[in-house]
Structure 1
Amino acid sequence: MNIPWGVRRIRAPKAWNRTTGQRVKVGVIDTGVDFQHPDLQHTLERGINLLQRTMLPQDDNGHGTHIAGSIAAANPVRGMIGVAPRSAIYPVKAFDYNGTAFVSDIILGIEWCVRNRMDVVNMSFGMTTRSKSLLGAVNNAYRSGVLIVASSGNDGKRGTIDFPARFANTVSVGALNRQGRIAKFTNRSALVDIYAPGDKVESAWLRGRRRIMSGTSMATSHVTGAIALLLADKPGLKPGEVKEILKRSARPLRNVKAPRRAGELDVMRMLQTADKIKSASPARESG
């Protein structure tokens, strides 16, 4: 069984006897997915193609397929396994074959995810300009119970990260390499919420193939998968609670001198933290 290094690193396989992400709806706003990919056959729902409304959100770039594979690939015999193999991927194609998109289409994608009750949305992309309308869409999703996971960006900047990861109501993700160190290409600042594997990550690609890619995009998909595992185990959690659990349960980064730095994603610690928080919260009347 091919379990990629990142899936092992975050200790997802140790959680699979408890949660596999079953019935959690994951929106992936990206370039679409390869609907014929053997690693993804069991995890794909129809989704929507915002560029050509009558067509399936078929991937003509590869990026979206790679992201979907890390989140939810489920082909234990000859293929690979993603972080949350029983979760359901709803591809939202807002990006064209070049991997570019209009902000207006991204906003339509977020609105579609809210309307169709996604539990978590993966947004493995970033931009350097702030968009007020994108902020509005992100905040509306958050208030509606839909958590957005976004990439910090790949320009190797210090002290600043991309939008929409820079918005408060997202989970912003930086990338780690196999040694557990922050990858050189990662944008980093105090606004990064969590770090996850993003360097030389193997996942699904077009025409049934696989490819190794590096980027905060890849790290983001690991965090989205972990959230799917958490939400299958604890269905009632609100976006703010999920974010709190992620941050509180992160493993401290190695070789980092700075205090109170965001840590590394660890699925087992995340589930244990959620257990503690849930048992400590007061009972509410359900009348």
Structure 2
Amino acid sequence: MKFSRETKESFTVLTNEEIEQLDFTSTQYEPWGISYINSHSLKQTYKNVKIAIMDSGVDSTHRDLEGVYISHYNAIDSTNDAIDRLGHGTAMAGIITANDNGKGITGISSNVEILSIKVLDDKGKGDLSSFVSGIEWAIKQDVDVINMSFGIKRDDPLLKGAVEKAIDKGIIIIAAAGNNPGMSTQFPAAYENVISVSAIDHLENPYPYVSLGKIDYSAPGVNILTLQPNNEYRVFNGTSFATAHVTGVVANFLSSSEYVKDEKIVEHIIKDLNSISKDLGESGYDPIYGNGSLIFDKHS
């Protein structure tokens, strides 16, 4: 069941109270963000894409992730489990690659392998050493994309060094701008060659709590229906969820075209993202929407 038609005014959004009345075991729902991006327009595929989700872990037993290859690494404590008790990382995985299997919800890309890197604890807290360790592990695994739906308020040379090392290896990093109104884009999103993502609602209004500054793109991030651990579903708001939408779009590009994996790959990806960006706000680039929102086969 699709939650949208062709115009932005027609997108239907749901609340957590409303989804309690839905039967996810026998019916498939397409969240409005997936419909907005219209990711199904890109069908040709060459390969699977390796995506590192640096977050709170991913519940790989969720029925909507069945068949998705998921490996786990706990960057906080490598001797401990990487179970997602917070649910944030599982939500990212749902947006990126929930199964198109006739039940539950659909994600953006079906051609991914997930490497779940636990850098946030069960309360959503993390520290710099875990972030750096997570990036270094992702580099060793030769991932294609790192999704970082979190950030820190201040620049740090250790984080910057790890990010630059990953970029030099041809890894695309996509990060949340942050949910801190009146404050600047958080790190690593603020770094050069990191794709920074802001959030919009179904009417293409900006999320009111977003950080401003270095914004590259906007994506659905308000009333986002996605996965939760233990075969649950929930609606969320924030730039974290917008970031996962952009990661899914990038995965579709990488799986459908041949790119040289080197330090210049992000330039080529940005060029392709710009080709499907819909200008929002002031004409051209602006610090609220960046280069606009991402839509395959742009609709009105």
Relative to the length of structure 1, the TM-score reads 0.87
Unmatched 5+ residue regions in structure 1?
270-287
**Residue 252 of structure 2: SS of its match in structure 1?**
helix
Q: CA deviation at 1:247?
A: 3.1
Where has structure 1 moved over 6 Å in runs of 4 or more?
Answer: none
Aligned mate of 1:251, from 247, 271, 278: 278
Aligned to 1:194: 217
Give the Cα separation in 2 of the matches to 1:84 and 1:94: 24
SS at match of 1:150: strand
SS at match of 1:25: strand
Of stretches 162-171 and 46-55 in structure 1, the one that deviates more from structure 2 is 46-55
Is residue 161 of structure 2 the alignment partner of residue 136 of structure 1? Answer: yes
Report if the CA contact (8 A) 2:60-2:70 is conserved.
no
Instruction: Check whether the contact 1:72–1:88 (CA below 8 A) recurs between aligned residues.
Output: no
* 1:180 alignment partner, one of 182, 204, 208: 204
What percent identity do the matched residue pairs reach? 30
Paired residues, number = 263
Distance 1:45 1:9 in 2: 27
Query: Counterparts of 2:81 and 2:105 in 1: how far apart (Å)?
Result: 24
Map 1:54-133 to 2 at 5 A: 54-133=79-158
Which whole-Å deviations, capped at 9, do the CAs of 1:196-235 have from their partners, x for residues lacking one? Answer: 0000101000211001000000000000010000000113
Question: Secondary structure of the equivalent of 1:48?
Answer: strand
Give the aligned partner of residue 226 of structure 2: 203
Alpha-carbon shift at residue 258 of structure 1 (Å): 5.4
Which whole-Å CA distance do the structure 2 matches of 1:4 and 1:157 have between them? 30
Asked if 1:265 corresponds to 2:294, the answer is: yes
Whether the aligned pair in 2 keeps the contact of 1:193 and 1:247 (CA below 8 Å) is no
Q: Is the 8 A contact 1:165 1:172 kept in 2?
A: yes
Give the distance between the partners of 2:53 and 2:67, measured in 1 at CA: 16
Find out whether 1:9 has 2:32 as its counterpart: no
Aligned-pair Cα RMSD in Å: 1.7
Aligned with 2:253 (options 226, 230, 233): 230
Q: Does the Cα contact within 8 Å between 1:151 and 1:172 map onto a contact in 2?
A: yes
CA contact (8 A) 1:38 1:75 kept: no
Deviation at 1:85, TM superposition (A): 2.0
* Unaligned ranges ≥5, structure 2: 1-27
> Hey, what's the Cα distance between the residues in 2 that align with 1:249 and 1:104?
36
1:155 is matched with: 180
Q: CA deviation at 1:2?
A: 1.4
Deviation at 1:102, TM superposition (A): 1.1
Q: Is the contact made by 2:73 and 2:82 (CA closer than 8 Å) also made in structure 1?
A: yes
Q: Which has the higher strand share?
A: 2
Contact map agreement 2:201 2:207 (CA 8 A) in 1: yes
Instruction: Give, in whole Å, the separation in 2 of the partners of 1:35 and 1:77.
Output: 19
Is residue 2–residue 76 contact of structure 1 (8 Å, CA) maintained in 2?
A: no
Aligned to 2:44: 18
Q: Deviations over 1:229-255 (max 9, x none)?
A: 0000113241221123223431111xx
> Displacement of 1:51 after TM fit?
2.7
Find the aligned partners of 1:173 and 1:110 in 2 and give their Cα distance.
19
CA contact (8 A) 1:32 1:91 kept: yes
Per-residue deviation, 1:55: 4.5
